[in-house]
A = this chain, B = another copy of it.
Amino acid sequence: MSGALAVIGLGPGSPQTLTPEAAAALDRADALYGYGPYLDRVPAKSGQTRHASDNREEGSRAAAALRHAAQGAKVAMVSGGDPGVFAMAAAVCEQIDRGDAAWRSLDVSVVPGVTAMLAVAARVGAPLGHDFCAISLSDNLKPWGVVERRLDAAAGAGFVIALYNPISRARPWQLGKAFERLRQHLPASTPVVFGRAVGRPDEKIGIYSLDAVDPSAADMATLIIIGSPLTRVIERPGRSPLVYTPRFVEGGH
């Protein structure tokens, strides 16, 4: 079988953060699959077909791309950020695991990209400078109780927390609940960073404290970083503050 499927990370959105490896993989493809707004970021190329699908259709999108590759085509699946972080690489693996046995013979590759938490962290300093975790706040794919247990475990053990998929029209209350829960573990002054569309014209970054943060300032595309008790804010004259988590925990040597 000569077909191939590459799952490609576009990074946070600006062409300036697309790696040469990802650009080359896009250029090689006969067909592009992906969520419409991500496909729109890829410059048109003649002879290359485009197959846009909706946000919530990851499974069927992955299966369609695998079927297409199994016919011998070079197929690219585009993903925002990094395809391995709450994105299309796992959806493709799921389909290979449970789908047509012939798909296991396909040349499947994943091209990494800069994921949202790294882009947002870079904009404010180094909030992920020590141990951290990434949690999807969506309870479409897991029970809300699991989300709560992970928030408790992470905050209780001193991890900085990056939240993906914080809020949507169908999930309006989860982010507020998450902040409530985190206030039981963390100081009121814990820095919270909201970031969206890094490197794009509609980029927006906000720095708040846990006691005063307003969940309604977030939307579907916002990435949220909640500090640990060690995370610090450096005020700067005439410049936006820096937020960072020191590399040292007291008692190290």
Contact = CB atoms under 8 A, between A and B. Distances in A.
A247 to B, nearest CB: 5
A133 B136 contact: no
A181 B24 CA distance: 42
Q: How many copies are assembled?
A: 2
Given A18-B20, A143-B251, A129 B89 contact: yes
A114 B244 CA distance: 19
B94 A142 contact: no
Nearest to A245: B90
A3 interface: no
A55 interface: no
Given A105-B239, A132-B133, A237-B104, A146 B90 contact: no
Contacts of A156: 153
Given A89-B121, A110-B121, A131-B134, 18 more contacts: A17-B19, A17-B20, A84-B128, A89-B122, A89-B126, A90-B244, A90-B247, A93-B232, A93-B242, A104-B239, A110-B125, A112-B119, A112-B121, A112-B122, A133-B134, A142-B251, A146-B158, A149-B157
Interface residues of A, number: 87
A16 B19 contact: yes
Interface string A101-126: 00011011111111100110111011
Contact of A125 (B89, B132, B199): B89
Given A89-B129, A141-B247, A123 B110 contact: yes
A58 B247 contact: yes
Interface of A: 9, 11, 14-21, 24, 58, 82-86, 89-94, 96-97, 104-105, 107-115, 118-119, 121-123, 125-136, 139-143, 145-146, 149-150, 152-154, 156-159, 199, 232, 234-239, 242, 244-249, 251-253
Nearest to A96: B234
A112 B82 CA distance: 13
Among the interface residues A89, A105, A136, A247, which one has the most CB atoms of the partner chain B within 10 A? Answer: A247
Contacts of A143: 249, 251-252
B118 A82 contact: yes
B93 A244 contact: yes
